[in-house]
Chain A
Amino acid sequence: MRERAGLRAIGGGRRRWPLWPVFFTLVLAAVSLLLHAEKSRRREEIRQAKEQLAAVVRARPVAGAKSQRAMFHKARFFLDYPAAASFGVADFIRRLAVVFRPREILDLRIDPGLHGFDFQLSVAIAREAPVTMPWQFAARLEELRNFPEIARLTYTEKAPADTSPGEIPRSRGGRDWVFFITGQAELQ
């Protein structure tokens, strides 16, 4: 009866343990084994994919070629910059001297940067009584604004804040309007 129940049996002085815990543990271990085998397979797949990607990158080095080209363009810019900046500045003054006659240009300061330059210009326009608003100046300012390289332009009748008192141009005994123009231009 005890043996048929399959729980335990005692025969000849021996105790017989049930078998189901062993099977149960074996089943659990088998599932673990399958999971670890799958992990190992996927790890191998990832390693192969990484090797394949590295081989493709080695064979067709896009980043390397891009970096070489970028460096070439930067070097070209460095080499061309001095001449481009000096031409840009000289040509700007040349055209400016067409808009404002040289005798009207009191003072011009230009600070070139890598891609453009800032400028501060003071001009003296002769007063023509009884005109209160110097329309000549407005017309010339518009001409200056139409320069293709001009990115920003403002004007005032007061000297810019960073101009030292000694540097402020004076009108000739009130015979001129003095205007201060500041702006930013791009190097063409």
Chain B
Amino acid sequence: MRPGKLARTLLRLLAALAVLAAFVVLDWYPAVKELGRMRRDRSDLQRRLKDYGAMASGFVFPDREEKALFARGRAELRRALLPVDDDSAWIAIALLDLQAQSRKDRLPRVRFMVSGQAWAPELGTAGPARPDPLAAWLGNRQSAGIQEGCRIASDPGRFPWQAIVAGLEMRPGRRLASRPLAVALEAPLAALLDFVNHVSWGAARLEIVRLHLEARAPVPRAWLVLRGYYLVRGPSPWAVPEGAGSDDGLRVDPDSPLLWQRIDPSLFCEGGKRELPAGIP
């Protein structure tokens, strides 16, 4: 072979290899890479489809009865949050609740406080003409504890119902508000404990934030800091800031068997209200 011809042949071979390399690098390699990714995507989708089918076949979907239960639950939630025009209206409702309960439980002495101050003495048992032995006790050692309880109750960082508020369909112009109030009482232990048990049964649905009891006194004495929730129209200093608190205490495991079964309708009727058993010394 002549040297010139050999050189030309080599040159053509190199040119052909360069074209081949260009195809491989610029087109074939990315295409093969993408084909591999697409194959994985397709297998992943097929697996998800299969898993979903298997999961759905073991899942009990809500029937008409359960959907009605959801609707009743939402309605009850809306009813539980009293709609009021302002904060004072709610305080009045809550205090009347407490007064009615204290009469029902026959408490000999009771005193209501809002923001740590005596409030509406005519609702309690201490009137202008009657001495109030609870006043001295409260003013002496207890006021710091009550103030601290009220501070805890109104701290937005400790608001525990974030998950509920997030799922709530609020009426326009209404905001969720939360306000603490306190009640002090002196009564035989049985009556005192009945009142503690019944304190949340009223329309204001008060939660106990702190309880302090001194049972050694001739007649047991206690104070409770309570908190309630309501829907207030317009701005309120007691409105729960958006996103306040956390839902840590209310997390439901998405894999919990509780979510796979139909809800037992008897749960709806429990209400949580129970009388104390007899047997108080």
Q: Which residues of A contact B (CB under 8 A)?
A: 21, 24-25, 28, 31-32, 35-36, 38-39, 42-43, 45-46, 49-50, 52-53, 56-57, 60, 62, 65-66, 68-87, 89-91, 93-94, 97-98, 101-115, 124, 164, 166-167
How distant is the Cα of A37 from the Cα of B163 in the complex, in angstroms?
50
A79 touches B62 (CB 8 A): no
Given contacts A53-B49, A73-B258, contact A94 B193 (CB under 8 A): yes
How distant is the Cα of A37 from the Cα of B164 in the complex, in angstroms?
53
Question: What residues of chain A lie closer than 8 Å to B272, measured between beta carbons?
Answer: 79-84, 87
How distant is the Cα of A28 from the Cα of B20 in the complex, in angstroms?
7
Q: Which residues of B contact A (CB under 8 A)?
A: 12, 15-16, 19-20, 23, 27-28, 31-32, 34-35, 38-39, 41-42, 45-46, 48-49, 52-53, 55-56, 59, 61-62, 69-70, 73-74, 76-77, 80, 141, 144-145, 152, 160-161, 163-164, 167, 189, 193-194, 196-201, 205-216, 220, 249-250, 252, 254, 258-260, 263, 267-268, 270-274, 276-277, 279-281
Given contacts A74-B163, A86-B200, list 13 more A-B pairs with CB under 8 A.
A35-B28, A62-B52, A65-B61, A66-B254, A70-B252, A72-B70, A74-B167, A80-B271, A82-B207, A86-B196, A91-B277, A105-B215, A107-B213
Question: What residues of chain B lie closer than 8 Å to A115, measured between beta carbons?
Answer: 249
Question: What residues of chain B lie closer than 8 Å to A104, measured between beta carbons?
Answer: 216
How distant is the Cα of A44 from the Cα of B268 in the complex, in angstroms?
49
B161 touches A28 (CB 8 A): no
A-B residue pairs in contact (CB < 8 Å), sample of 25: A21-B16, A28-B20, A35-B35, A49-B46, A49-B49, A53-B49, A56-B56, A73-B263, A75-B76, A79-B76, A79-B77, A79-B272, A81-B272, A82-B205, A82-B207, A83-B273, A94-B277, A94-B280, A98-B281, A102-B189, A105-B213, A109-B212, A110-B210, A112-B207, A115-B249
Given contacts A87-B274, A114-B160, contact A108 B198 (CB under 8 A): no
Of A28, A73, A97, which contacts B281 at CB under 8 A? A97
A167 touches B145 (CB 8 A): yes
Question: What residues of chain A lie closer than 8 Å to B189, measured between beta carbons?
Answer: 93, 97, 102
B141 touches A166 (CB 8 A): yes
Task: Considering the complex, give the chain A residue whose CB is closest to the CB of B5.
Answer: A7
How distant is the Cα of A81 from the Cα of B69 in the complex, in angstroms?
19
Of A66, A77, A111, which contacts B210 at CB under 8 A? A111
Of B45, B249, B270, which contacts A49 at CB under 8 A? B45
Question: What residues of chain A lie closer than 8 Å to B28, measured between beta carbons?
Answer: 31-32, 35
Q: Which of B32, B41, B73, B272 has the most CB of A within 10 A?
A: B272
How distant is the Cα of A39 from the Cα of B33 in the complex, in angstroms?
10
B52 touches A53 (CB 8 A): yes
Q: Which of B70, B193, B211, B267 has the most CB of A within 10 A?
A: B211
Measured between C-beta atoms, what is the minimum distance from A104 to chain B in Å? 7
Q: Which of A60, A87, A112 has the most CB of B within 10 A?
A: A87
How distant is the Cα of A22 from the Cα of B196 in the complex, in angstroms?
96
B77 touches A78 (CB 8 A): yes
B211 touches A89 (CB 8 A): yes
Given contacts A78-B164, A83-B273, A94-B280, contact A70 B31 (CB under 8 A): no
